[in-house]
Amino acid sequence: KPLVFSGVQPTGNLHLGNYLGAIKKFVALQETSDCIYCVVDLHSLTAQLVYDDLADQTRSITAAFLASGIDPKKHIVFNQSRVMQHAELAWIFNCVARIGWMNRMTQFKDKAGKDRENASLGLLAYPSLMAADILLYRATHVPVGEDQKQHLELTRDIAQKFNNDFSDRIAALGVGVEMQVGEETVNGYFPLTEPVIGGPAARIMSLRDGSKKMSKSDPSDLSRINLTDDADAISKKIRKAKTDPEALPSELDGLASRPEAENLVGIYAGLADMSKADVLKEFAGQQFSVFKPALADLAVEKLAPIASEMRRISDDRPYVDAVLRDGGERAGVLAEATMKTVRDIIGLLQS
């Protein structure tokens, strides 16, 4: 059975990009896989150290997971900082990965901005902690939005270098598994994880700027639809979304140099579980004055039940905390089993 891991940071409001690009996939994968979904609170420290309400934001992401349909009994839901092995493995991966690999990451370049020397060391090492999150459970599949593709490639590079550097120890301890790398069959301890990216909503763009991804950290609230927005806010943001004056085309080619139009079509497709081509078949030749209200109605129909369920679950704080505690205990058992082996592979004295 595939083992799925993914995480969401408890920073800022969850938005439609997080939902369509990640959480909706988390829900779907529960049928076929064993899943571990994590509120990655340690990652939040990379951009900003002090928060007023990190605990409440952690609860709020958890409530969104549960409200969207993640089952914390069949699968594991917890917050990262409870399982200290994430930080332990990240340290080891800091020593496996190379500084040059980190310097090439576009998320680091974007988030660090011009004053790169003054970014936290954690922001640079972020992908190493992300690799640890995933490989601690030896996860085989990771559902994420398109923006995380580069970090998942780095996760494979880290796994491969670890497997390579320690190949003799892994063989001597008999803890390797056979896997296919290109043409070659190799024996390694960490799997080469597959990203689960794709569909029409893998990269939802800002409603104000078709060249930037929709993001929690965008200062403009009009740039995103939050999972907690009410019907009025959703309608207003879609009405005000930047578009061009042309009608919708009948074929995908017609969206080629129209990023804002393509984004709204992608959002419709993601919400309705349709392809963009099928959305265009339905709305070919229509103006945005027709398409936007249809999109707003669809968004309200799909998001309102999640928002109200989120409110209901959030009101029961002891329940949310109990889910995270229980998930943390179960994750901790799996994590310690991996770390015991990793410490043996490296040769750290444990007895």
Contact residues toward ligand ATP (CB under 6 A) are 8-9, 11, 17-18, 21-22, 144-145, 147-148, 202-204, 213-217
Query: Other C-beta atoms within 10 Å of 201: how many?
Result: 24
Closest distance to ligand ATP from the beta carbon of 312 (Å): 23
Q: Which is nearer to ligand ATP, 224 or 345 (CB)?
A: 224
Active site (annotated) includes residue 212:
no
Phi–psi pair at 143, nearest 5 degrees? -80, 125
Catalytic residue among 24, 73, 74, 111: 111
- Catalytic residue, from 149, 161, 216, 242: name it: 216
Closest Cα partner for 21 from 345, 302, 270, 349? 270
Strands 184-188 and 177-181: antiparallel
Question: Catalytic one among 24, 73, 161, 213?
Answer: 213
- Residue 58 makes CB contacts below 8 A (sequence gap 6+) with 10, 39, 41, 79, 324
18 is in an annotated binding site: yes
Residue with nearest beta carbon to ligand ATP:
21
Answer yes or no: is 204 a known binding residue.
Answer: yes
CA dist 109 and 127 (Å) reads: 13
Among candidate residues 196, 207, 90, the one with its CA nearest the CA of residue 142: 196
Is 215 a known ligand-binding residue? yes
Active site residue 111: yes
Rounded to a whole number of angstroms, the minimum distance from the CB of residue 8 to ligand ATP is 4
C-beta closer to ligand ATP: residue 9 or 163: 9
Give bridge partners of residue 184 from the DSSP assignment: 181
Shorter beta-carbon distance to ligand ATP: residue 144 or 320: 144
281 noted as active-site residue: no
> Which CB sits closer to ligand ATP, 214 or 306?
214
Measured over the CA atoms of residue 275, residue 281, residue 286 and residue 289, the dihedral's sign is negative
Q: Are 195 and 25 in contact (CB under 8 A)?
A: no
123, two tokens? 């922001």
Output the smallest distance, CB 199 to ligand ATP, in A. 10
Q: What CA–CA distance (Å, rounded) separates 286 from 246? A: 9
Which one, 97 or 218, has the nearer CB to ligand ATP? 218
Angular region, 141: left φ>0, alpha ψ -120 to 50, beta rest: beta
Residue 17 counted as an annotated binding residue: yes
Q: What angle do CA 103, 104, 110 make, to 5 degrees?
A: 85
**In this structure, are residues 123 and 9 in contact, taking their beta carbons and an 8 Å threshold?**
no
Report whether 52 belongs to an annotated binding site: no
180 is in an annotated binding site: no
> Known binding site for L-tryptophan: residues?
133
The residues carrying an active-site annotation are: 111, 213, 216
Known binding residues for ATP: 9-11, 17-18, 145-147, 204, 213-217
Residue numbers in the known binding site are 9-11, 17-18, 133, 145-147, 204, 213-217
